[in-house]
Amino acid sequence: MQGRALVTGAADSQTCAGTTTAAATGRYAGVISLSFVGGQLVSVRTASNALVTPSGAKVGMAFADAQTLYGGRGTLITAPSGTKAMVLPVTGTALALVLYLDATNATVASIGGGQADRIESSARTGDGC
């Protein structure tokens, strides 16, 4: 992907063995970060309010509003640091969306999506892997 200029800054993660991180180019430059394992995309994350989920959630919105959008479909989890995230499985797939909250646990700070087991584990442990 780097050879076709679809990503930039590809580098082996210093904290997650076997993971390569990169940034998007083009229209998503500075908007999304990407994680790859074995050359396959496993997760995408944004801290930009320019992107909106199909249900209407976006970075910067009140967590209470995000909960209203998703109803009881999500599971609220707490990382060892005390920060919280809402994990939303994508029905019928091995994918999930995660709304990561800010330090006050009142506002959506970033949104990630990808392989459910990987991103839920990351939210649960706070290790980013």
Q: What is the full DSSP assignment across 56-119?
A: S--TTSBHHHHHHHHGGG-EEEE-TTS-EEEEEE-TTSSEEEEEEE-TTSSBEEEEEEEEHHHH
pLDDT for 16 equals 80
In terms of residues, how long is the chain? 129
**Averaged pLDDT, 63-74:** 93
Q: Is the pLDDT of residue 3 over 80?
A: no
Q: Is the pLDDT of residue 7 over 90?
A: no
The CB density around residue 42, as the number of other CB atoms within 10 Å, is 16
Better-predicted residue by pLDDT, 6 or 51: 51
Q: Is residue 86 part of a domain?
A: yes
**Averaged pLDDT, 92-107:** 95
**Averaged pLDDT, 15-29:** 89
The CB density around residue 125, as the number of other CB atoms within 10 Å, is 13
Please tell me the pTM assigned to this model. Answer: 0.89
User: In the 8-state DSSP scheme, what is residue 16?
Assistant: S
Domain residues for the domain of 23 are 7-125
Three-point CA angle 24, 109, 27, nearest 5°: 25
pLDDT for 5 equals 67
Three-state secondary structure call for residue 9: strand
User: In the 8-state DSSP scheme, what is residue 54?
Assistant: T
Q: Is residue 2 part of a domain?
A: no
Number of domains in the chain: 1
